[in-house]
Amino acid sequence: MQEKYYHIPEKSLPNKSVSTPLPVNHEGFSETDLSEKIIQQAFQNDPNEGIQCLFHCYHALLCSHAVRFVSSKAIAEDIVSDIFYEFHARQLYHTITTSYRAYLFASVRNRAFDYVRREVHRSNSLEYAAHVSIQSAQEPDSITQYENLCQDVEAAIGGMPIKRRQIYLMHRFEGKKNPEIARELSLSIRTVEAHLYQAIRQIREELRSKWFLLVLFLYTEYPANHRSDQDFTPTNPAPMNTSPHDDLLFRYFSGQASSLQKNQIEEWLRDTSNLALFYQALARWEKQNLQYQTDTKEAIRRHMQRMENLTQDSARQELSRPAGADWRRRTPRYWLAAASVVLLLCAAIGLYHTFFQYKTYATEYGQTLSFGLPDGSQVTLNANSSLRLPRFGFGDDSREVFLQGEAEFQVKHTHNNARFIVKTPYALDVVVLGTQFSVFARSRATRVALTQGKVQLFYKAGKKVQKKSMKPGELATLDQRGHQVAITPMENPAAPTAWKEHRFVFSATPLSEIALMVQEVFGVKILILEPAVAQMTVSGSFTAHDAEELIETLAEASTLTYSKNKRTITIQTQSN
């Protein structure tokens, strides 16, 4: 193939002599020699030559920048690939009259944020991130990184004065506007604005060494629909009159700039004409701090193949899809990468407010867990259970927790008489000041057993909220069909929490009910073939650490036999 040459006037390349023509043959091209002017002329001559120049100049830098946000090389390269594809297929090289570099870097940053937003909203239950145990974690290192990020943000917000923290949480997580916050707290709007300003400033200061986390956490303060790929202008006060030096910008990119230096840069960026210089410096910084080496030749080959396969109809179809949408159908390993990204980033993004506002403790099948709460209360979770509580402000005014499953509570009385409220999914709330009790809240039943102190039960009967009080030694059972609560004395007060010692206490309990209990606690399905066997009752106390041990003990004490196939145990009479 014959080389092509372009003569560039010296005034286009300041401080650089152009006495010899510059080749557009891409082998051996340095990123320094490939100026914006050369790339633009290459596109004018031949778009295929131009896109290859663009790849050689910016592909590695853009992938390095993208991976800082999505933490996956594969996803980062897909985002960059889609941006190059749209740039080429839509002929944006004709419409962008300023800087290709600024457009590409702004697009990568925006697409990376949009990708994370999309994945967070697509997930059915991001709270699973907090439920992952060491045994089931696909990537223990990712979980550790996630916990560290979460703790950093939690500490930053938790260190705020109470009133400032309250206002910030109402604004950030409840989505309330300043006038609404002012009305609820009987404050002036100016006071609310001052608290919010101080809160954001405090977070910036405490997380200044964690540039990645700070950008994600604070950037999401601005709505996505206010941006475009060419719009990445921070909203700050009046601009500076002078340009910051590279050293200052490099400190800013690496998260080492002081609060004053950050404010100076943000003020300077208020003038949109400075964006080109900003991204020029960002490209130089990325070149000196590449996250990994990319295969640019292979990326060009895939891009050119993609362009060759492009038809008029398929172009409309592909360009209508969100950028990065095709990575999900290439190979299953990308799903694992996406899951890892969500686990790592969801705490920092702050988009899924319910998740970030609450901390969740959870247990696996066959596992119990004991832990303390910030107010000094103690909780023990039974197997296959979870407890959720606010990360911030727990105990300031009230103490609310959300239980799914079964737990024992030893509630500590506080000096401010803050109520301790256990909420369940089945329209029953338990309210106490200081006492010891256990709550069973699963799909088949909801029960409360009181050991010490006094509790109040609130439940909805029809359209009215009813209240009942309990005394020690009583058991309350919610009739979920009629939404009525029956309170009866406990025959064996130790029975409701015998599971803490791996004991199972039955009192004329049908085998069908025991089968449900085994599935709830151990995740093992019990199959009873004969209706008469299902109605058999069991009484007594049995110790077991797994489902088979319990069923074997029951079988030995009766005329039953059982067989096991993976996660299913079949029970039948010995005659069969």
For residues 45 and 221, the model is more confident at 45
Tell me the mean pLDDT in the region 431-447: 87
The predicted structure's pLDDT at residue 230: 35
Tokens 């740039």 identify what position?
87
| Residue 475 banded pLDDT, cuts 50, 70, 90 | very high
Domain boundaries, the chain: 5-123+291-327, 363-492, 502-573
Could you tell me which residues come within 8 angstroms of residue 526 by beta carbon, excluding any fewer than 6 positions away?
Answer: 514, 515, 516, 518, 519, 547, 551, 568, 569, 571
413: amino acid identity, one letter? H
Sequence-distant (6+) residues with CB within 8 A of 571 are 511, 515, 526, 527, 528, 529, 533, 551, 555, 560, 561, 562
pLDDT bin (cut points 50, 70, 90) of residue 430 is: very high
C-alpha dist (Å) from residue 453 to 165, 265, 460, 470: 33, 59, 24, 9
Element spanning 505, H or E: strand 503-510
Measure the CA angle with vertex 534, ends 528 and 539; round to 5°.
120
Confidence at residue 325, expressed as pLDDT on a 0 to 100 scale = 46
Express as a percent the part of the chain with pLDDT over 90: 16
pTM: 0.47
CB 57 within 8 A of CB 276: no
pLDDT tens-digit readout, 140-164: 334 444 455 556 677 777 788 888 8
Over range 36-46, report the average pLDDT: 86
CA–CA gap between residue 287 and residue 62 (Å, rounded): 10
Which has the closest alpha carbon to 540: 553, 559, 523, 525?
A: 553
CATH class, range 363-492: mainly beta
Domain 502-573 architecture: 3-Layer(bab) Sandwich (3.55)
Residue corresponding to tokens 């179809």: 317
pLDDT at position 550 over 50: yes
**How far is Cα 431 from Cα 378, in angstroms, rounded to an integer?**
16
Residues 332-347, mean pLDDT to the nearest whole number: 43
Range 532-560 average pLDDT? 88
- The most confident of the ranges 332-341, 377-386, 431-440 is 377-386
The Cα-based distances of 141 to 296, 337, 436 in angstroms read 29, 13, 37
pLDDT over 90 at 59, yes or no = yes
Residue 448, pLDDT score: 93
Question: Over the chain, what is the mean pLDDT?
Answer: 74
Per-residue pLDDT at 85 = 92
Instruction: Answer whether 363-492 and 502-573 agree in fold.
Output: no
pLDDT digits (tens, 9 = 90+) for 108-129: 888 887 776 666 554 433 333 3
Rg of the Cα atoms in the chain: 31
Let me know if 493 is exposed, middle or buried by CB neighbors in 10 A (0-12, 13-18, 19+).
Answer: middle
